Amino acid sequence: MKKWEENIRQVTPYVPGEQPQEENIIKLNTNENPYPPTRKAVEAYLTTDFTKLGLYPDPTASELVGALEKYYGLEEGQVTVGAGSDDVLSLSFLTFFNSDKPILFPDVTYSFYPVWAEVYRIPYECPPLDKDFRIRPEDYKKENGGIVIANPNAPTSLGMASSEIEEILQANPDVIVIVDEAYVDFGGESMLPLLSRYENLLIVRTYSKSRSLAGMRIGFAMGSKELIQALRNVQASINSYPLTRETIRVGSAALEDEEMFQKNLKRVLHTREWAKKELEQRGFLVLDSQTNFLFARHERVSGQRLFEKLRDRGIYVRHFNGERIREYLRITVGTKEQMERLVSTLDELL
Ligand SMILES: *Cc1c(COP(=O)(O)O)cnc(C)c1O
């Protein structure tokens, strides 16, 4: 081993779902939205003033931050933005989890959490979900250095009632509790109404799933002014200009087209319930999703085998090799046509 190798920070990176380059792939593996972004968002992108691209963007993205504060009925100073919610979450781990005590998150959840804990050297513990893949609030009532909960959870697709998360907040006034609401627009219960009562609550959201803008990279955090200021200070100490000029414009404009946004959401929810029934008729156990994906296991065929067979036929879903979930597939809800292709392909395979 070379001497300098000792100085390298060793990490096992998070592995996102594949982004295949071939045409004609049905891509149901990274929970993207199958519908295009709203008209106003596209218009904002197309009318970006390219003569200004030589200038740095607004470091605080105040146009977007202001639009989000207004949209969610918050006060000035309660929102900060980042390059996707992965950026916001990662910086939140760095900002808020500085105790020697372990932070807590479930054993089955967004697999980026243990990666950030490792890279920032944050000790962590993972209380197991119960046998039905539910988060038990009582597991989060022991001493800890902070808590992060995805609600609805991924990859299980299950949501918790906000009263259950409030139970966790009540038991943890001395640490920061992060609620990752990446999927909440698809039918979960948001913690937003509780924000004014808990100064130690940070809600993180993304434009990547419900707003059809994964390629734009926009995420944001909502919380008390104190939490947001602390997060902004760390953000500004690492990257002064996390969002590009056109990203800031598109992010703001996307909030102005509520009708089209709601229409796209409804289509996803409708297709989700249709696909769930179709899968159940074909021998799948499908959890009750509050997200834009289904978490499902077949009664006979193994998760790995189904994943490979579907992939051979150009349908990409996500398969995780974790001990408790390796028989399951995480299937993004695509368009009705894509889901029909999935179902007819399964008919050939099963
Ligand atoms: C997709 C996802 C994110 C990250 O989304 P970005 O594209 O980085 O905004 C964060 N948390 C969960 C639970 C997710 O599924």
Listing DSSP states for 63-106 in one string gives: HHHHHHHHHTT--TTSEEEESSHHHHHHHHHHHH---SSPEE--
* Phi, psi of 15, deg, nearest 5: -110, 110
Asked whether the beta carbons of 53 and 266 are under 8 A apart, the reply is no
Find the distance separating the first CA and the last CA of the chain, reported in whole Å.
50
206 lines ligand 1 (CB under 6 A): yes
CA of 170 from ligand 1 middle (Å) equals 26
pLDDT of residue 205: 98
CA of 180 from ligand 1 middle (Å) equals 8
CA of 52 from ligand 1 middle (Å) equals 30
What number of CA atoms fall less than 13 Å from residue 58's CA on the CB side?
13
Q: What tens-digit pLDDT sequence spans the chain (350 residues)?
A: 899 999 999 898 988 888 888 888 999 999 999 999 999 999 999 999 989 999 999 999 999 999 999 999 999 999 999 999 999 999 999 999 999 999 999 999 999 999 999 999 999 999 999 999 999 999 999 999 999 999 999 999 999 999 999 999 999 999 999 999 999 999 999 999 999 999 999 999 999 999 999 999 999 999 999 999 999 999 999 999 999 999 999 999 999 999 999 999 999 999 999 999 999 999 999 999 999 999 999 999 999 999 999 999 999 999 999 999 999 999 999 999 999 999 999 999 98
85 lines ligand 1 (CB under 6 A): yes
- Tokens 């003569």 belong to which residue? 51
150 lines ligand 1 (CB under 6 A): yes
CA distance 224 to 157: 28
Whole-model pTM: value is 0.97
279 lines ligand 1 (CB under 6 A): no
182 lines ligand 1 (CB under 6 A): yes
